[in-house]
Structure formats: C-alpha cells, structure tokens
Structure 1
Amino acid sequence: MGQREMTFRAIEVGDGGDGRWAAHAQAMWPYTRTWLSDEGRTAEGAARARALFETHMPELVPVLDRLAAGLDRPGAEALLTLAALRPFFSGCTQIGAPGTLLRNYDFTPDECEGTIASTCFLRPVIGMQDCGWGLLDGMNDAGLAVSLTFGGRLVHGPGFTVLIALRYVLETCDTVDEALARLAPLPISMPQNLTLVDRERAVTVYLGPDIPLTVAPDACATNHQDQPVPDEVERFSRTRQRLDAVRAAGTDVAALLRPPLYQTAYDEGLGTLYTARYDPAEGRVAYHWPGGSWSQSFAEFTPGTRTLALGLAG
C-alpha cells in the first residue's frame, strides 16, 4: 500500500538492426531472462518454441532472427519467441470505443520493464514493451490499438505468451477485423482478454488454452471471462466491481486514476503502474499517473526517462 516510485523509459529503435534495440535488450537481460521457462532452457524446448513461431508468425521470423542475433545471449531466441515463458498473472482494466483505447495496467512494479518503445520492425508501432519485444498495449500507423488483461482463470497450456500476440497483430494488421482473423488460430498459453479498437470499431475478446476466441458482450474487460466469479476471487481482485465501474465511466482518464479502478495493492501484484489513453487514428498515446503524464506520438516521439510516483497520496 502507499506510494512507490517507478522509472519508465522511452526508446526509439527502428527496425532493430542498428544496435539500439540490442543495447537496450542487453541491459535489460538480467531482468528479461528470468521469464524464460525451464523447458525453454532446454534444446528440445527451444526447438519447439521456434517451430511454433515459424508456423504461426512467419512474417516475424526475419525480425526474430535479427533481434536474437543482436541480443546474443544464451536462450535469447527461445525467449524472444515468447512461446517458452513462465506464466504470469496481472490485474488490469480496459475499455475501448471507436478511435479510443483506455487502460490501467496493474502488476508488481519490480516485474514490469516500463519501456515505451517506438519500433519499425515491419511497420511503425508504439507501445509499452516487455520481455524483449512483446507488448502490454500499443498502436500502429494504420490506427489499430490493442491492450491486454489477465483472464482470471488459473489454467496453462502450450502456446504463446499473449505479449507476442499483441506485437503480431500490430505488425501485420490494419483493422480490428484483420486482427481477429489473425488471433483466432493462435495458441495462447493462459486466459487473456484483449480489447482492440480502430477508427470504426471496438471489441473485447477472450482467449485461452482451453477456449476458442470468444467475443465479449462489450468492449471492456477486467480480470474474468464470461463465467461466475467466486466470492473469494472477487474479494481479492474486485474484478466485477471494476468492470461495472469502467462501464459506467466510459473512456474517462480521471475515473481510471481513482478507486476502484486505480489500485494500490502492489505487494499482491494488483497495483496500478500506469494509465494509458491511445488515440490511434491520430497516432497519439498519453500515459498518466496521479502526479503527471507523458505523451508520445508517431509525429513526435521523445526518448528519455521519467521517475513517477505510484499510488495515491494521503
């Protein structure tokens, strides 16, 4: 509980081939490598991850090879497939409307990279990066934006960590409909909820290792899918309370910066680390905290670092 500080950084790395991405990734390696699963550390596990990536994301294979060569660390390729990572569980609240995506990312501060990355691997993309080149949320130059929340069910299966699914659709898709078609066949290792918006449409979908892609009733999500939430889960996560609150608030940044949508349970991994408002049709995103904000855009991206206070004062 109470206030903490977290340092966020903004980096511009182009296509990953000139050393800027590699320099950042090498500096982050002591953090990033902790996410690689035990299976991914074996030759057999790494080969399975590579084969899965080649099958489902062939467009990104040249980028994977370029980044893995630049990172040049044992296990780098397996980790960068994001098909050999240990499970993670987060909080989060998100809501979309045509042309606007708003989200709170709730997690443990020490386990979030906090990197706003401007990339051009296949096309211009800006987003909150984690695990090398995965994305917690982001937008592309076509006006498509997407963010994730944990789906709330403690099941795990073979497949991709959802961070690379966000990267994949933003690199290869122009619209929500195209993104849904790309997402449907992807094996996703844990239950996740994605909210996607373009200029004309907003939708939330449920993904998981044990369910097909399922369209949610409306374009908002917290940390459950379409099933009863046990009382003990609700007491811990307040997922239904937050869903009701964000539905009532709509795309209002101020509402996400106060309870119940803004959370301070950092020791339980449910503290809000940042609030993001994406306006992808204008190519703009603003990250918000109770004491400040940081805006970025395709037209004017500003690298740098900022240390922000997390939590509510008083």
Structure 2
Amino acid sequence: MHAYREATPGPRWQALARATWPAYARWFQARPASDQPTYAECRDALRRHLPALLPTWEHLTELAVAATGTTHEDAGRLLSLWRPTPFVTGCSQVALTDPEPVLLRSYDYDPALFEGVVASTNYSGTRRVMGTSDCLWGLLDGINEDGLAVSLTFGGRPGSGVGFGIPLVLRALLEECGDVAEAVARVRTLPVAQAYNLTFVDAAGTVATVFVAPGEEVITSRQRVATNHRLDVVEYPADAARLRSRERHDLLTRLVNEGATRREVVGAFLREPVRSSLFSAGFGSLSMAEFLPKEGSVTYRWPGQTWTRRFEDPDASITVEVPSAEVPSGCRGPRPGNGSSRHRSAGRNGRT
C-alpha cells in the first residue's frame, strides 16, 4: 500500500492515474456504449447534485487527459462516477464510543482490483480529508479534520440504478460535512447507483448507520454494526450465506452488546469469520482500518502488522502479503494487468 499527501490534485494524483487508467477504462467500458452516460449527462449530474465537487472534477479531467492521453470526454465521464459499471465489495464495520469514538472496518475484495492507496487531500480548500482511495478520487472509507469518519459495506442487494458510485459520495460527505447529523442529512439528497450500508461516527461520539439504494429513501439506524445485507435484514439469503454476512454481523453485534473493549473487537476483525479468506472468490480481507476521530488518524491492521497515517504524514508505503486470486468466475469485466508505476493497476469486478 502507498500513502501520499497532496492538498490539491497534481503530480501524485497523475502518477496514480497513469498507473490505473487502462484498467479503469476497461471497467468503465465493460457495458455497451448505449448504456454509458454521455459527458453532458455526467457534467449535469455533478452540477445538480454535487456542485462543490464540480471544480475538482474539471481539474482532474484535465490532469487525466495530460497524464494518460485519453480524450476529454472519456476522462470526464469516468471520473464523474455517474451511473458507473456495477461492482460489489464485502466488508464489515463497527462504531464504538467508549472510551472514545472509533470506527473499525475491514475491506474485503480482490487484491488485483485494489488501488492500495491512502490519500490525504484538501480538495475543497476548507476541510482536509484522508482515506482509502478508490476510483482515483473516491473513497472506500475516510476521516476529515473535523472528526467525521465514514465507511461503506455492500448492502446485499444486486442490481444498479441511476446515481453516483458510492466512493464519490463518501468524498462529498467528508468534504462537505462536519458531523454525523450533517452527513446523514446530506446523504438523503444524493442519488446512489447501488445498495450500501454507510456507518458514521464523529468526534462527539454520535453514531449512525444508513442504508442507501437507487431510487429509495435513505433508511437511518442507530445500530453500530453493518456487514453485507440491509442493516439487520437479510434480503438475499444465498448471497448473505456465501459471504458469511449474517455470521459476521451476529458475532460483532454480540461483542458490542456485551461491552467488549476496542482491543477485543479489533482482535475479532483479525480472525475469521470477520477476516475473510475468500480470495479465490474475490472477497478476501485486504485490510482492517481503525479510524480515531479525536486524533485524526487511521491505523491499518493485519495479523502481525500495523500502519498509522495522519493528515500531515509524508508519503510512505508498506508491503503486506495476501494470497493472490483470480477474478471469480461469474464476474464480467477484464482482469487488469500490472501498472506502469509504483501503484498496481486497478479495476472493478463488474459483477451485478
């Protein structure tokens, strides 16, 4: 994994774009051209729903053209994450508040399709954001300098609709919102492309987990645990069983209800069933992250290894060995090759 600090998009972001663009382009183009949004549609969606991100999107589009040689239209469409090609992740997450607020999460996915990048940025110019990068400027999880932390898990419902890819939604929430109340209110206004659970915790110890899905009202819950079904409702039992979603949810919920310490819950994240070994199916645990809102830090954990990052930390990297895996059968979209710079080429598994 590589970590970089770049307040506004520049050479470090372009290095990531050069390394990953071919694979992201293949993922984006996995659908028929007739099913892809136009540049105008993407621009209008950002202008309507995420106007604060519009200047950054325009800048990133120009940087991508210069770094990769792609067309302005293709760069803008891909980076908008409007109506993206569907993808599925695993993941578990828990919010704790005693003795201090903390957001714990595991990220379960295919290592060949993972950017492996931690980005510390200040794209808005008013609020620093740090988190695990995805889709070049989106986030799988993150924290801002006000102490708001958020992470995502797949919500267990197949299919997609008209909306944004969830990584861009997480960036918008962290750039625009200072606490859980603001974030929950903001997410209610944003159309999303797929079903997800989002868990929030802030420096004051407020917690919320919400379920978002295309074309539906946001469902808000006070529960502190989320895995890969809709909050605590299993809508697709076969899929939940394959991912051990209920098993993970029940274990983590029991620990929370019994008053387990943070150390004990972290330990559970580093063992099965929360730590997944399903690398051959594209759902192995790539990392476990521990976000501390009051400290403004994230610590990534693996069995026998830890790595802590803060907003002002310089560029760094860590090597972690996980089993290699082929893209699972039944998933469409090409498997990416290796990138041309430090970052591995990233892609999406295209599963619907």
Match of 1:25 in 2: 17
1:71-97 Cα offsets, whole Å, 9 max, x none, are: 112311111111142100111000113
- Determine what percentage of the aligned residue pairs are the same residue: 37
Q: Residue type of the partner of 2:188?
A: A
| Matching residue of 2:241 | 235
> Which residue in 2 is equivalent to 1:214?
219
In structure 2, C-alpha distance between the alignment counterparts of 1:259 and 1:243, rounded to whole Å? 12
Structure 1 residue 227, shift from structure 2 partner: 3.1
CA 1:231 to 1:224, structure 2 compared with 1: closer, same or farther past 3 Å?
closer
CA distance in 2, matches of 1:180, 1:307: 36
Answer yes or no: is the 8 Å Cα contact 2:196–2:211 preserved in 1.
yes
Instruction: State how far apart, in whole Å, the 2-side matches of 1:46 and 1:193 are.
Output: 29
Counterpart in the other structure of 2:338: none
Identify which of 122, 147, 154 aligns with 2:151: 147
CA contact (8 A) 2:14 2:63 kept: yes
1:237-279 Cα deviation digits (max 9, x unpaired) = 1111100111223442111000110000012122100000000
Q: Distance in 1 between matches of 2:77 and 2:83?
A: 6
Say which is worse superposed, 187-196 or 41-50, in terms of deviation: 41-50
Report the Cα offset of residue 216 of structure 1: 2.7
Are 2:117 and 1:115 equivalent residues in the alignment? yes
* Corresponding residue number in structure 2 for 1:279: 292
Q: What corresponds to 1:54 in structure 2? A: 47
Q: 1:253 aligns with which of 266, 282, 300?
A: 266
- Alpha-carbon distance in structure 1 between the residues aligned to 2:249 and 2:94: 9
SS at match of 1:102: strand
Greater strand fraction, Structure 1 or Structure 2: 1
Q: Which residue of 1 aligns with 2:61?
A: 68
User: How many positions carry a matched residue from both structures?
Assistant: 302
Larger CA deviation: 216-225 vs 186-195: 216-225
**What's the CA shift for 1:55?**
0.5
2:198 equivalent to 1:205:
no
Maintained 8 Å contact 2:200/2:207: yes
Q: Which runs of 5+ in 1 are unaligned?
A: 1-7
The AA in structure 2 aligned to 1:49 is C
Give me the CA root mean square deviation. 1.9
The letter of the residue matching 2:78 is L
Identify which range, 20-29 or 204-213, moves more after superposition: 20-29
Match of 1:307 in 2: 319
Question: 2 CA distance for matches of 1:240 and 1:132?
Answer: 31
Aligned equivalents of 1:182, 1:27: Cα separation in 2 = 33
The range that moved more, 246-255 or 151-160, is 246-255
CA-to-partner distance for each residue in 1:190-237, whole Å, 9 max, x for gaps?
100000110220110000014211013502100001534444233311
C-alpha deviation, 1:100, in angstroms: 0.8
Change over 3 Å in CA distance of 1:212–1:42 after alignment to 2:
closer
SS of equivalent residue, structure 1 residue 308:
coil
Offset of residue 288 of structure 1: 0.6
Q: 1:253 to 1:227 in 2, by over 3 A?
A: closer
Q: State the secondary structure of the residue aligned to 2:267.
A: helix
* Cα distance change on mapping 1:265 and 1:68 into 2, 3 Å: same
Asked if 1:265 corresponds to 2:278, the answer is yes
Would the aligned equivalents of 2:202 and 2:293 in 1 still touch at CA under 8 Å? yes
CA contact (8 A) 1:161 1:189 kept: yes
Partner secondary structure for residue 294 of structure 2: helix
CA contact (8 A) 2:156 2:236 kept: no
Q: 1:67 to 1:241 in 2, by over 3 A?
A: same
Label 1:42 to 1:14 Cα distance change in 2 as closer, same or farther (>3 A): farther
Q: Which residue is equivalent to 1:165?
A: 169
Maintained 8 Å contact 1:91/1:269: no
Of stretches 37-46 and 47-56 in structure 1, the one that deviates more from structure 2 is 37-46
Q: Tell me how far apart the structure 1 counterparts of residues 60 and 275 of structure 2 sit (CA, whole Å).
A: 35
CA contact (8 A) 1:203 1:219 kept: yes
1:71 match: secondary structure: helix
1:106 lines up with 2:112 in the alignment? no
Residues 124-164 of structure 1 deviation map (CA, whole Å, 9 limit, x = unaligned):
11100011100000000000000000000112101101000
Q: Is the CA contact 1:114–1:129 (under 8 Å) kept in the aligned structure 2?
A: yes
Q: Report the CA distance between 1:41 and its aligned residue.
A: 8.8
How far residue 19 of structure 1 moved from its aligned partner, in angstroms, is 2.6
